[in-house]
Structure 1
């Protein structure tokens, strides 16, 4: 299997898993590990995520425009913008300080990734089955202090396998946010978070990205964008009706299968 085909498959996997609480990075890293995919500086796994973020921008363009247009005269719109920005700040600080450890240690430890998939799946299952009382049902009504707390919880996702969307959704639900509003806030928070990660990782790795690596990133980027559009349009309706149990069991199954394969020398 050529690198271009693997890059396309990994891009599709990224787009399909970025916004569901199963850890897109964990899935892409584990799949790349078993497929023998070579990624200089692990830049591919980070940079293709921007494709998924552009999908969110496309789907939510009208709503975003409405929020920014209303901000000068609507206190709720202004508060929502501040909520997203404040939730984004912890990831900036922790991401910059921990970047070397994340890329050279955590990204290179498949056993840790698989274990975090299982642990996160168990936590997601428990929270989904026993949700705390809901105090916030609208995304734009999330209080600033709740948004900041969600931002700190998001930092746990720098451990691959935890899941950025999983951490923010579970954190929001534990803080009294409804399932649908928690998923939507996770969508909006992903925009500055992943755009910032893209810019910082590109700056750190631009000198080691040759033509082949750049070509693979472009392929993965496009595939992630196309797959993410489908997922974003489907996810909120599914979550509202069925919750997150399916994703929890998926995490547990994938993590267990990966550990078994590694134990057997796969």
Structure 2
């Protein structure tokens, strides 16, 4: 493996699996981890941190496969015609697509600017703190949702707009989409689960785009030379994400987001202190 050692691959993949579905910013943690390991930010390393999200995607599909591949998630509307009955079977996937579209468009249009921000530890630290402060109060800001809340196209699109905020490193896609769901009167559990489902098309598209971009930029050899790193990274991210999702759903349903808020503030604050005292933490 040219760009990453096996140990570096495993460590970064563990961080990805642990943090992808927690509201603490997986991207931010991988940037920090990469810096602590002294890993150079090459084109492959940038792509690696995105591509191993595929392993995390599979963990969602594995844990929720019965629900993810089940048709008729919602009751059939009264008086639905034959065509209406058929289309209703795919209602859940339609709403996932509606929620996915905003991030897909903005991600495509501003890919280079997003990549540039990914190299800034300062941006990550600031957003960890800001997001952490918000999470201390989000349970009070958004009243408890109802189990009877129906996820409409409008609500799904609103959650998708929240997801766009997570393009800023350190925000956390999980946090943004869960908060978006809670703002639409979903319960914490329902918002978290929809966030997991929405991660599948979102991260699958990001992974495919990174691989395609590498190929188009002449990176076929880079990918082939580092294939073992990609395989190991995805397997580790998959296993760790399975455990993280189970823990998170149970914890957030019972205790809310305050603990994650304090964690973000502490980590972000420590990084800012190191930066202000002259330590160079920027990704190389």
TM-score (norm 2): 0.85
Please name the residue that 1:199 is paired with.
208
Matched, 1:239 2:252: yes
Change (3 A) 1:4 1:262: farther
What residue number does 2:263 align with? 250
Cα distance in 2 for partners of 1:222, 1:39 equals 22
Matched residue, 1:52: 56
* More helix, by proportion: 1
CA distance in structure 2 between the partners assigned to 1:231 and 1:107 by the alignment: 24
| 1:80 maps onto 2:92 in alignment | yes
Matching residue of 1:179: 188
Determine the structure 1 residue equivalent to 2:80: none
1:24, 1:158 → 2: CA distance?
Answer: 12
After TM superposition, the structure 1 stretch with the greater mean CA deviation from structure 2, 207-216 or 105-114, is 207-216
- In structure 2, relative to structure 1, the CA distance for the partners of 1:179 and 1:77 (3 Å cut) is farther
1:119 aligns with 2:121: no
Across the aligned residues of Structure 1 and Structure 2, the Cα RMSD in angstroms comes to: 2.2
- Does the residue aligned with 1:66 lie in a helix, a strand or coil? coil
Matched, 1:217 2:221: no
Aligned pairs, number: 262
The C-alpha deviation readout for 1:1-58, integer Å capped at 9, x for no partner, is: x722011011011001111111101100111012111343211111111110011111
The aligned counterpart of 1:259 is 272
**Contact 1:169/1:183, CA 8 A, preserved across alignment:** yes
8 Å Cα contact 1:91-1:154 kept in structure 2:
yes
Please identify runs of 4+ aligned residues in structure 1 that moved more than 4 A: 68-77
Structure 2: unaligned runs, 5 residues or longer: 77-83
TM-score, reference length from structure 1: 0.91
Structure 1 211/75 Cα, relative in aligned 2: closer, same or farther at 3 Å?
A: closer
* Distance of aligned partners of 1:210 and 1:65 in 2 relative to their CA distance in 1, 3 Å threshold: closer
Separation in 1 of the partners of 2:200 and 2:5? 28
Contact 1:183 1:236 survives alignment (8 Å): yes
Q: CA deviation at 1:232?
A: 1.5
Contact 1:136–1:142 (CA<8 Å) still a contact in 2? no
